Structure formats: C-alpha cells, structure tokens
Structure 1
Amino acid sequence: MPIDQERRSACLGPEGSVAHVTRVLSMISGRWKLPILFRLFAEPTMRTSRLLRDIPDLSQKVLTQHLRELERDGLVARRDFGRQPPHVEYGLTDAGASLMPVLLSMREFSRLHAADVPGAPD
C-alpha cells in the first residue's frame, strides 16, 4: 500500500481517527449527557433524584434514557442495592473517568478560543 494511501486510511478508514472520534462524539451526544457526566465526575455516585435536582429542566424519562445509553456505552455504571424502596446509584466507570480529561481539555479549548468565535460564551 502506498504511503499516501496508508495515511489516508489511518485518518479516514474504518479504524481511522475520524471513525474513533465520531464514535466518542456519538456516545456523548444528547442534550443532557454532558451535564450528567460532569455531575458524576464532581460527585462519584449519585441517585437519579439527585441528578434531577441538580440538572434543571431534565425529565425523569430523558434522564433514564440517557443513563441507559451511557451505561450501554460503558461510561456509567448502575449499582442496584436490591432494597425496597429501590435504591440505585450511578457512577462513572473507569472508561467514563478516563474520558473526563478529554472533556476538560475541550472546555479549556473553548475558553481559550471563545474570543475567536462570534457569539461564544465568555
């Protein structure tokens, strides 16, 4: 395979950079997924009732949906204590915790370049 073809494949192929970054972006896409991840980063374990209190305008239905998706993608773990009344807590998995420095770097990038983008938050 020619060198240019190898480079192109490393970026654009099915196992290339674009595919991997796109996969991560799809894992965190959704209006409430980032707020959920950041809250679980700030507090290691939380119950759904606390997440609902801490994230204004988030509905129980959407919270449950996003938590299931984050769990399916391996970013969040659900711990069921098997009690009555039900006691369930959520926390970041090792994979979720390892994603946080990337998200914090993105936040810093935004802060550093906010002046370059019209309408960006200060």
Structure 2
Amino acid sequence: MKVYKKRLVGILVLIFICIIGNFLVRIILLYSVKESPILQGTYSCDKLPFASMVFDLDDNNTFYYYNYDEMSKGTYSKGTDSEHFINSSKFQNTKILYDGEKQTFIIKIDGETYLFKQFDRLPIIHLESE
C-alpha cells in the first residue's frame, strides 16, 4: 500500500511540474521580443485596380510592380521596422511605409500617394496569355 501511495504522489508531482512548466513557457513566449513583420506577398490597391506589387523575400528580396502593360522589377530592403526602400527602373530608392499589423503599405507613385493591401501572403505573379 505504501508503494502505491508513493507512486501516486510521484505521478501527481510530475503532472504538477508539467502544468507549471507549460504555464511558464507560455508566459515567456507571450512576453518575448516579437520580430517585426516581414514585407512579403502580393498587394493590390483600390485606387489602382489593375496594379499589384509582389514582394518575394526568398528570391533575394525581389519585387515586381504591375499596372496594365507596365512592369518593373527590382529589389527591396528594410530601413526601420516600418520603412522599406524599393529600387528599379521606375522606383529609385522609393520609400514604403509598411504597417505589419494591418498588412498594408503606403507608397508614392508619380507624385500620388497610394495604399496597398495584402491579398495573398505568397508572392503571386499573374501573367495573362493572349
């Protein structure tokens, strides 16, 4: 009978330690430093219904800009948490103000300011066949 009680107490202590450990891990993860959101995926703009911007982190930070029959390919880099810069033949060191929580960014194109919203987390390139 004593052996049974010792085993039961041992199992209860082990369960208690697991519960406390799980709780502590959750607290550590909750308060750990969060990485800043990453600019990646496919974005569109309501004011420019035929325009999209694609950011591909895995392809050496390549971006693509499509609008009607216009296309520009270049690279992008991170400045601060909310600032990114794009470079291509159309965009020379153009600043993007990125909001990672809303998955949106603001950019000036030809003197006008536009808001682009993420519509896919993946970088999708749409090519139309004629």
TM-score by length of 2: 0.24
Flag the structure with higher strand content: 2
Q: Which has the higher helix share?
A: 1
Give the structure-1-normalised TM-score: 0.25
* Larger Rg belongs to: 2
